Amino acid sequence: MKKLFCALLILLTILIVVKTITDNNRYSQKNYTFSENTNIPSQKAVERFSGGLKIKTISNSDYSKTNFKAFDEFIKYIKQTYPLIFEKCEFTQVNKYGLIIKYNGKNSNELPNLLSAHYDVVNIKNEKDWKYQPFSGYYDAEYIYSRGTIDDKGAVFGILEALNESLLNNYEPKSDLYIALSPSEETGAEEGTPKIIEYFKQKKIIFNTALDEGGRIVNKNGKYYAFIGTAEKGRLLSKITVFGQDSHASMPDNDLATQKLAKLIMTFNSNHPKAIMSHDIYEYYIKTYDSYPLFIKMLISNKYIFAPILFKYLSKNPEDNARVHSTNAITVIEASNTANAITKDASMLIDTRILPSQSSEDIKQYLVKTIKKAIPNEQFKIDYLSIMEPCKPSDINSKEYHQLVKNIRKLYPDIRVAPYLTLGATDAREYAEISKNTYRFLPCILTVEEAALMHSDNEKLSLRNWGRMITFYKEFITDR
């Protein structure tokens, strides 16, 4: 029996080593170096982009308090700046500020395609913290600086420039192309993208491929990868209230609501829902295989055997942890509003981001089970404040996905492309309702420093990156 066990152990070890070596040979790649030969946009194109950045289309969480004069100015600006687009294409305003441009193709019987972007931006905190005025549209030979350069006016004007050039060259796409520009992506207001979706539903328009922001080119441990967002996490915002004895702070009782709440906070901070590695996420790790040390490669190659160890390793990194877990974040805590009084109840808001392989119902069950285990026999209440179901992954084996990969490699030859779980929320989740395939990708190579400037001070985009965006969008248009 002992000999049999040893033989099986040796065989298993051999299989693990062989699988690791095979995958290492299969997924290893040269260190991709991108070309700097991409044309920097013309001076006139940069001026057009700069002019749009000067317009303060700032989102407001209360949509009714939005400065709509700036949005009116923006619409007037793009009409004046791209007259050929508005002469040759159909233009529709949905709920006044949702903008739809339709470029008629050769075959209206084929499903159309969609390019989506948003022209609203987040506000700034302190103008003094900016190197250049935040809405100056200032540019030098290398960068253009302003709020919204990366998120998301770079895409807006990249798409408009690509469409304008296609029209100048008398190009006619194979199928109809729609461009949808949202005025409220940053706040998720119902008056923005949802109204655009309603419009398409009323017209019974279904898209073959919808492309929005999300993934990008990333330098991961010295190697470049193109990440296409294929899905988004969902969100369940819950308020958990626990109860105890109220009294004066000079005579604290043993039955304190704050003590029970503290137990829950510690529990939820250290106990996320069960780790899951879906097919798409596994594909992400396989496609980025070459960026990991040998030990981690072994865990990835043999995930069914080493799943607990692999998940433990991944949980150490916040981004990796969010890929394989539905995650909890305690964001708001409420108890007594008086220093010397002990309140009879205490509550917290828990923001749970849900994996595409799970649902809000799964998370509700997990919350109740976890609370009962942490504070057994105690009274509690859960209020579910908002629910956004996760967005199911688009097919990574479809013709449309491979067509998008081909478009990316036209700009970045031989780069490794991988599916990507978008951890934040984009308009793409809305378009998933009316599109066979919904993907998220910006053809930018952003440094860690540049990516961190999104929604922060001194946001900027290199002119070379913007040139890549224009080239990519032209490729998207002319290949469909």
CA distance 242 to 378: 8
Question: Does a structural domain hold residue 117?
Answer: yes
How long a stretch of residues is the chain?
480
pTM of the model: 0.88
Q: Which residue has the tokens 């179901």?
A: 389
In a domain, 80, yes or no: yes
The answer to the question of residue 258 being in a domain is no
Give the amino acid at 199: Y
Q: For every residue of 218-272, which 3-state class applies, written as one string? A: EEECCEEEEEEEEEECEEEEEEEEEECCCEECCCCCCCCHHHHHHHHHHHHHHCC
148 in any annotated domain: yes
Residue 29, domain member (yes or no): no
The amino acid at residue 300 is I
452 located within any domain = yes
Q: Which residues pair with 217 in a beta bridge?
A: 226, 445
Q: Give pLDDT tens digits for 93-123.
A: 999 999 999 999 998 889 999 999 999 999 9
Number of independent structural domains in the chain:
1
Handedness of CA 67, 70, 73, 77 (dihedral sign): negative
Residue type, 52: G
The amino acid at 243? F
pLDDT, tens digit (0-9, with 9 covering 90-100), for 209-261: 999 998 889 887 777 899 999 999 999 999 999 998 887 777 777 778 999 99
CATH number at residue 207: 3.40.630.10
In a domain, 160, yes or no: yes
Phi, psi for 239 (deg, rounded to 5): -110, 120
CA angle 360–364–367, rounded 5-degree value: 135
- Cβ 327 vs Cβ 351: under 8 Å: no
Under the phi-then-psi rule, with left for phi > 0, alpha for psi from -120 to 50, and beta for the rest, what region is 144? beta
Would you write out the chain's pLDDT as a tens digit for each of its 480 residues?
676 666 666 666 766 766 766 766 667 666 556 565 567 899 999 999 999 999 999 999 899 999 999 999 999 999 999 999 999 999 999 999 999 999 999 988 899 999 999 999 999 989 999 999 999 999 999 999 999 999 999 999 999 999 999 999 999 899 999 999 999 999 989 999 999 999 999 999 999 999 999 888 988 777 789 999 999 999 999 999 999 888 777 777 777 899 999 999 999 988 889 999 988 899 999 988 888 888 888 999 888 889 999 999 999 999 899 999 999 999 999 998 888 888 899 999 999 999 999 999 999 999 999 999 999 989 999 999 999 999 889 999 999 999 999 999 988 888 889 999 998 888 899 999 999 999 999 988 887 788 888 889 999 999 999 999 999 999 999 998
Element holding 52 (H helix, E strand):
helix 43-53
Is 233 within the bounds of a domain?
A: no
- Domain that residue 141 falls in: 43-212+445-478
208 SS3 class: strand
Under a CB-based contact definition with an 8 Å cutoff, are residues 261 and 242 in contact?
yes
Tokens of 420: 């990507």
**How many whole angstroms separate alpha carbon 404 and alpha carbon 396?**
10
